[in-house]
């Protein structure tokens, strides 16, 4: 099987698909729109989960688990929520199969559910129905719960990690006594996501709020982090919603406040998903394969012997064993690939494809000279390095690579935020380099919708702490108080 992948300039979309499948991250399954996350891809997701889970717990959250199924009647209780999700719901209608007598397995029509069950596309409804039993008084608040789960949204056009019918995610669902506290929670979790994106994924993000058109179905305010991919398209990497009292009202969740009065509970929800795998891949990788930030790389350093014969291999292995124990003591994930069934060049290509941040090669001459060849994946630079203090050097190198990958992505992002003053200029940028386009907008959903129809660009967000300045809307010419960020998006 050839490991060659299409280049980005040739066909960015094909490059992405090649990379995901050939680096063994994921593949399409036999079930329309559902993916198989392969072991290597899943091990990256596990690293993301571990980092996020720690951040959630450090901010006072605990995990719980709610049912996969949502009764249709619950789903319908919050009007804008059901409107947002109704067209992409997998519906369970029966609970038994049977043999039709001719050896065929068919659905047993006698086992029809009285009420259909929806496979959760998100869990606000089932969770708020549960919270009704958990909350009586302000003493029961806040509830700070997160769930790691699979969800299903029946997308018609799917892409591995970016848009799949089933995906894995976490969804936080919190309940609060006051509006202020809920808003503060939604903003805090946005900060957690931004921190994770920048410090683990090494992906710079713009924090902002969504326009009404782009808001989560059922939210009062949707906060988001928006990242920029190498092809100039934006990707929403995480959202945090202030839900007001919408779900508490729909599910009759009231509490007695400190003044002894009954009030509806205030809510937030927030989530990131396996979509982040897509962001990770598209933000950093190159035509040779994945480029993984060291903090999320399942293998951070791979060591390859370049030996002539078994005797030399034994001497190299002796040196390597010592290095490995030093690296492991530092908590570094290291792999020694001494397979004799593959040549070094094959191994080099394989680890480049898989995005291993650092490759160390040791040959006969290195043994003599007390050196090792160190190659970094991000810049693809190779260097002969003394084996004296090599473990320390490599530890620092991993830090440097993490920073460099982020800096490179940040530079790209900064170069690709373009201020425009006219609709002509706006369209020119979108059809050219792409990226974020910072433009005045009159604030109306109608203008937003027309721009979307004409250019496929959406308002990605109104950045937080957005500078206020007088201007005119690029589309309508009406007065505007601020610029917003447009982009074509995944």
Report the interface residues with its own copies, using CB under 8 A: 27, 29-31, 34-39, 42-43, 45-46, 62-72, 74-76, 82, 86-99, 104-105, 107, 116-119, 126, 129-130, 133, 139, 145, 149-150, 152, 154, 166, 168, 341
Residue 105 beta carbon to its own copies: minimum distance, rounded to whole angstroms: 4
Residue 288 beta carbon to its own copies: minimum distance, rounded to whole angstroms: 24
Nearer to its own copies, 139 or 478 (CB): 139
Residue 379 beta carbon to its own copies: minimum distance, rounded to whole angstroms: 29
Nearer to its own copies, 124 or 286 (CB): 124
Nearer to its own copies, 20 or 152 (CB): 152
Nearer to its own copies, 87 or 468 (CB): 87
Give the torsion sign (CA, 187, 192, 195, 200). negative
Q: Count the alpha carbons within 13 Å of 320 in the hemisphere toward its beta carbon.
A: 26
Strand extents, DSSP E, 293-452 = 301-306, 334-336, 358-363, 371-376, 382-386, 417-419, 436-440
Nearer to its own copies, 136 or 384 (CB): 136
> Which of 163, 158, 159, 85 has its CA nearest to residue 122?
85
d(CA 419, CA 426): 9
Residue 435 beta carbon to its own copies: minimum distance, rounded to whole angstroms: 33
| DSSP reduced 3-state for 164 | coil
> Which of 195, 185, 197, 149 has its CA nearest to residue 61?
185
Residue 173 beta carbon to its own copies: minimum distance, rounded to whole angstroms: 12
Q: What is the DSSP string of 68-86?
A: SEEEHHHHTSSHHHHHHHG
Q: Which residue has the tokens 């969504």?
A: 210
Residue 353 beta carbon to its own copies: minimum distance, rounded to whole angstroms: 17
Nearer to its own copies, 107 or 410 (CB): 107
d(CA 352, CA 356): 6
Residue 343 beta carbon to its own copies: minimum distance, rounded to whole angstroms: 16
Nearer to its own copies, 2 or 104 (CB): 104
* Residue 61 vs residues 140, 221, 248, 259: alpha-carbon distances, Å: 14, 21, 20, 27
d(CA 206, CA 217): 22
Nearer to its own copies, 81 or 376 (CB): 81
Residue 180 beta carbon to its own copies: minimum distance, rounded to whole angstroms: 23
d(CA 379, CA 30): 38
> Which of 86, 101, 280, 311 has its CA nearest to residue 198?
280
């Amino acid at each position: 099987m050839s490991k060659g992948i299409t280049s980005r300039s040739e066909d960015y979309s094909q490059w992405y698909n090649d990379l995901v499948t050939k680096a063994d991250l994921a593949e399409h399954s036999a079930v329309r729109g559902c993916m198989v996350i392969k072991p290597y891809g899943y091990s990256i997701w596990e690293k993301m989960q571990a980092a996020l889970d720690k951040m959630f717990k450090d901010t006072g959250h605990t995990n719980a688990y709610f049912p996969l199924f949502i009764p249709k009647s619950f789903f319908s209780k919050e009007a804008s929520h059901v409107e947002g999700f109704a067209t992409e719901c997998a519906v369970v209608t029966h609970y038994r199969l049977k043999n039709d007598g001719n050896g065929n397995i068919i659905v047993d029509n006698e086992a029809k559910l009285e009420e259909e069950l929806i496979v959760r596309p998100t869990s606000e409804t089932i969770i708020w129905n549960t919270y009704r039993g958990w909350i009586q008084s302000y003493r029961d608040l806040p509830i700070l719960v997160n769930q790691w789960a699979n969800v299903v949204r029946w997308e018609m056009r799917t892409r591995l990690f970016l848009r799949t019918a089933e995906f894995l995610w976490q969804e936080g669902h919190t309940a609060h006594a006051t509006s202020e506290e809920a808003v503060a929670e939604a903003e805090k979790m946005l900060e957690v996501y931004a921190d994770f994106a920048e410090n683990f994924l090494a992906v710079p993000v713009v924090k902002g709020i969504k326009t009404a058109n782009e808001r989560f179905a059922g939210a009062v305010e949707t906060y988001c982090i928006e990242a920029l991919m190498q092809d100039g398209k934006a990707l929403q990497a995480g959202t945090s919603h202030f839900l007001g009292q919408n779900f508490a009202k729909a599910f009759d969740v009231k509490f007695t406040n400190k003044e002894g009065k009954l009030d509806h509970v205030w809510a937030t929800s927030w989530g990131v998903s396996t979509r982040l795998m897509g962001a990770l891949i598209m933000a950093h990788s190159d035509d040779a394969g994945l480029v993984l930030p060291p903090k999320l790389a399942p293998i951070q350093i791979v060591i390859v012997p370049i030996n002539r014969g078994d005797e030399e291999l034994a001497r190299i292995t002796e040196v390597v064993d010592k290095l490995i124990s030093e690296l492991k003591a530092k908590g570094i994930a290291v792999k020694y690939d001494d397979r004799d069934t593959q040549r070094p060049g094959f191994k080099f290509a394989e680890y480049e494809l898989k995005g291993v941040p650092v490759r160390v090669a040791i040959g006969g001459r290195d043994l003599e000279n007390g050196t090792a060849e160190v190659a970094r994946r991000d810049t693809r630079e190779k260097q002969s390095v003394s084996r004296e203090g090599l473990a320390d050097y490599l530890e620092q190198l991993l830090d440097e690579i993490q920073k460099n990958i982020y800096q490179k992505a940040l530079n790209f992002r900064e170069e690709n935020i373009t201020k425009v003053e006219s609709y002509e200029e706006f369209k020119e940028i979108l059809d050219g380099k792409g990226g974020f386009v910072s433009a005045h907008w009159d604030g109306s959903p109608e203008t937003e919708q027309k721009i979307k129809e004409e250019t496929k660009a959406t308002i990605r967000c109104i950045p937080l702490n957005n500078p206020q300045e007088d201007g005119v809307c690029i589309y309508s010419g009406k007065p505007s108080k601020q610029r917003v960020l447009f982009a074509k998006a995944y």
